[in-house]
Amino acid sequence: MLYALISDIHSNLEALEAVLQDAEQEGAQAALCLGDIVGYGAEPHACIERIRQLGGIVIAGNHDYAVCGKTDVTYFNTYARQAIQWTIGQLSQDDLAFLAGCPLVYHGSSFCLVHGSLNYPDSWEYLFNEEDAIYTFRLLKERILFIGHSHVPLTFTFKGGEVRKLKPSDFILQPGLQYIVNVGSVGQPRDTDVRASYCLFDDVKEIVRFRRVPYHFQRTQAKILNAGLPEILALRLQMGR
């Protein structure tokens, strides 16, 4: 089966549609969502609807749990908190119930999914470097774990107790190795590349591919400004950080 792994959509419908179209063209048969459907952007309800239509597994992110009161927002920065408040007013009871019902972790037959890390998933820890990743590898039963949260695509490998951090490039799973793959962000990339980021995983051929998809971010920016959301949330889309 060919899976599309998408994360950190952040209410950016243009980027989500562009990614789903690309995934379909590539032959993806299912989409798995690693959380943060909402927050920052101007179309939270439409993004939730679109994700629900796909019918795949959806893991909760910190912004998803924040809007339904399941996680503390005091550590969010000011504009992220403003966006959370605005988002709550845009969602139906059904949207909120859906987000509240998303689990923190999913264990599949050949892969695992979590938003931040396996080390206390509800503490929303970031895996930026080798030292962060080792605790999650020690908890990982499957050969590969897909994550999001930092909005920066990358791969960690684990063998014999040693972690290596690799740039995001396509690879075939090697025997004896475990992997953590950050699929990057659909709706708010932070690696200076403005294009939407996601991954494809073929669990039969055991291949992971990193994809970047251009989308009409000016349209997204206009919607953010029209909604009265903080200007920085529009600006950062043209900087990719």
**Which residues form the interface with Zn ion (CB under 5 A)?**
8, 36
Min. distance of Cβ 185 from Zn ion in angstroms? 6
Compare residues 7 and 157 and give the one whose CB is closer to Zn ion.
7
Q: Give the residue ranges of DSSP H helices in 140-182.
A: none
Min. distance of Cβ 151 from Zn ion in angstroms? 6
First to last CA, the chain: 33
Q: Alpha-carbon Rg of the chain, whole angstroms?
A: 17
Residue 30: closest CA among 15, 44, 20: 20
Compare residues 8 and 17 and give the one whose CB is closer to Zn ion.
8
Compare residues 36 and 95 and give the one whose CB is closer to Zn ion.
36
Residue 222 and residue 203: Cα distance in Å, rounded? 39
Residue 224 and residue 76: Cα distance in Å, rounded? 19
Min. distance of Cβ 147 from Zn ion in angstroms? 11
Min. distance of Cβ 195 from Zn ion in angstroms? 17
Compare residues 8 and 132 and give the one whose CB is closer to Zn ion.
8
